[in-house]
Amino acid sequence: MADLRQEICRRRTFAIISHPDAGKTTLTEKLLLYGGAIQLAGAVKGKASARHAVSDWMELEKQRGISITSSVMQFEYDGYCINILDTPGHQDFSEDTYRTLMAADSAVMVIDAAKGIEPQTRKLFKVCAMRHIPIFTFINKLDRDARSPYELTEQLETEFGIGTYPMNWPIGSGKDFKGVYDRATGKILSFGEAHRGTSRIQATEYALDDTQALDELIGPTLRQTLETDVELLDGAGYDFDLEQVRQGQLSPVFFGSALTNFGVEPFLKSFLEITTPPLPRKAAEGVVDPFEDSFSAFVFKIQANMNKAHRDRIAFMRICSGKFERDREYYHVQGGKTLRLAQPQQMMAESRQVIDEAYAGDIIGVFDPGLFAIGDTVCTKAHKVTYEGIPTFAPEIFAAVERVDTMKRKQFEKGMTEIAQEGAIQIFHIPGGGLEEVIVGVVGILQLEVLEYRLKSEYGVDVRRRSLPYQFVRWVENKDMDLSRLNLGTDSRWVQDFKGNDLLVFGGQWAIRWAEEKNPGLILREFKEN
Ligand code: G4P
């Protein structure tokens, strides 16, 4: 099975995360450009969909393939087989974003050098930290005025509680951006006018001790600053420790400018060397090694095809071990059934294609006739494993949704339940109440707009939506507590999800503290491990 090991060893599966506008799309494009997966930058599909809210989204519905394509991209570079998982960072921020991170072995965090850490970077980082996956930082837009690199790395350390190891160090920024000092080689890569284009660029290299050349290149002031910086970095910074990187405790930091291509290829090369091949995964039966012969995978995302004529769904699976073969029978653990996966597809940069085989680390999409739920495991019948479920993340936006036409009860209930099963929204109800009015929880407002749109277009139901003042939800761990007698503050409420789990929703942090103080013994959890 030498080729199985070889194939898996050369796989790198990672997610790119960022706050909107930090440059995630641009960096992804440039990575694809270097991988030869696209001819010209500017071709990453789905950018328009990532950009804008529901009107564009509805338009896009007709070409649903586009946004599916954009969610996973596979390409080859330097002998590596790379799977990039896209995490929407815009208004369509949703639970999908969190779940996608569950399928990655590492994350690249793009930060705007003028802005530093922003709110969505924080949220996404939290999920990566929960999984202890390696986090690489690309500090972008050095061709614009930027904060000091010291300030930026310090912010990462203090806010995220991780160490940072700058792999390179910027020389100036904005109009004065002269390039970066590469710490591994001790060379300076110079940034020039040629970088304003979008083609592949080989930066010119200079040695740090070539004082004369450097004085000409960056001027004596910047040269002296650089010398001091390098001394400081080598003397006072963290040491590079691969083990710590792999544990997610030390983040290698790269400075560059994705738009001008500067620093992108050195980043890619170094990233591929440092980041891990597919990692072992926890299952109920024990830890599963990716190099095991038998195939196993878990579903991390289900995307309903918006084509009304077909109403099909695609389940995205991350392969965790072994090799997938198209015509073999596999076992769906939660359904307890043997099946052949229909039309297994892999997403390339610009298209998707039916595949015959795929390896641990890869992501495949299969048609789902309604069998799968998020977190399900597919494996061989002979080697049954059950992967740990994907946690349910706490929604932050709540609305009460009811149907306008009281006659449409069945369609309303069916639509709400099916859309919730896909994992596109979370639904709750008041204990003892029916489905007359459903409380919907989401992490991004676009999810609510999409829900309304889909209820109407797919189920023929018009709904009314009312915002609710809740922002936090906590799962109640206690099994033997009479929740109807809880002492809760205003803007707090007891609800249940449709699996019958008890939850409390709160209008603010203070209300959570109140509930905990006034109800001794009450145990609340922020994530629900499924
Ligand atoms: P996102 O996916 O993280 O939301 O960011 P995206 O790549 O779309 O980049 C946001 C904006 O920042 C874009 O400009 C993009 O061109 C610009 N940008 C990205 N990287 C760099 C960089 O290294 N330097 C500079 N100066 N700008 C960068 P836009 O005007 O909003 O969009 P567009 O009209 O260029 O597409």
Buried b (16+ CB within 10 A) or exposed e, 465-474: eeebebbbbb
What Rg, from alpha-carbon coordinates, does the chain have? Answer: 25
Report how far Cα 231 is from the mean position of its chain's Cα atoms.
Answer: 36
Ligand 1 pocket test, candidate residues 24, 26, 28, most atoms within 8 A of CB: 26
Dist. CA 333–CA 405, nearest whole Å: 40
| Residue type present at position 130 | M
- 1-10, 343-352, 411-420, range with the lowest pLDDT: 343-352
Amino acid at 141: K
Q: How far is it, in rounded angstroms, from Cα 12 to Cα 273?
A: 10
Q: Is residue 360 lining ligand 1, measured as CB closer than 6 Å?
A: no
Q: How far is CA 270 from the centre of its chain?
A: 21
Residue 144 CB less than 6 A away from ligand 1:
yes
Higher pLDDT, 336 or 348: 336
Composition of the chain by helix, strand, coil, percent to 5: 30, 30, 40
Mutational test site, ligand 1, from 138, 195, 259, max ligand atoms within 8 Å of CB: 259
Q: How far is the CA of 257 from the centre of ligand 1 (A)?
A: 10
| Residue ranges in 112-263 assigned as alpha helix (H) | 119-131, 149-160, 211-236, 242-246
Confidence band for 68, pLDDT divided at 50, 70 and 90: very low
d(CA 94, CA 451): 12
CB distance 69 to 46 below 8 Å: yes
As beta bridge partners, residue 110 has 18, 138
d(CA 86, CA 226): 36
Cβ atoms 332, 303 nearer than 8 A: no
Tens digit of each residue's pLDDT (9 = 90 or more) over 116-134: 999 888 888 988 998 899 9
Task: Name 75's Cβ contacts closer than 8 Å, sequence gap at least 6.
Answer: 31, 32, 35, 36, 37, 82, 84, 348, 349
Virtual torsion, Cα 466, 467, 468, 469, nearest 10 deg = -150
The residue among 116, 208, 217, 216 whose CA lies nearest residue 169 is 208
Span 435-460, mean pLDDT? 85
Pair 257, 142: CB distance under 8 Å: yes
The closest residue, in CA terms, to atom 15 on ligand 1 is 23
Q: Is 259 in the pocket of ligand 1 (CB under 6 A)?
A: yes
Amino acid type, 263: G
- Can you tell me whether residue 51 is helix, strand or coil? helix
Closest ligand 1 atom to residue 28 Cα is 7
Output the pLDDT for position 25. Answer: 84
Query: What is the pLDDT, as a whole number, of residue 94?
Result: 65
Residue type, 19: H
pLDDT single digits (tens) 226-273: 999 999 998 888 889 999 999 999 999 999 999 988 889 899 999 999
Q: Is the CB of 22 under 6 A from ligand 1?
A: yes
Which pLDDT score, from 0 to 100, does residue 445 have? 79
Torsion (CA) 499, 502, 505, 510 in degrees, nearest 10: -150
- Check pLDDT > 50 for residue 46: no
What residue's CA is closest to ligand 1, atom 4? 21
Whole-prediction pTM:
0.83
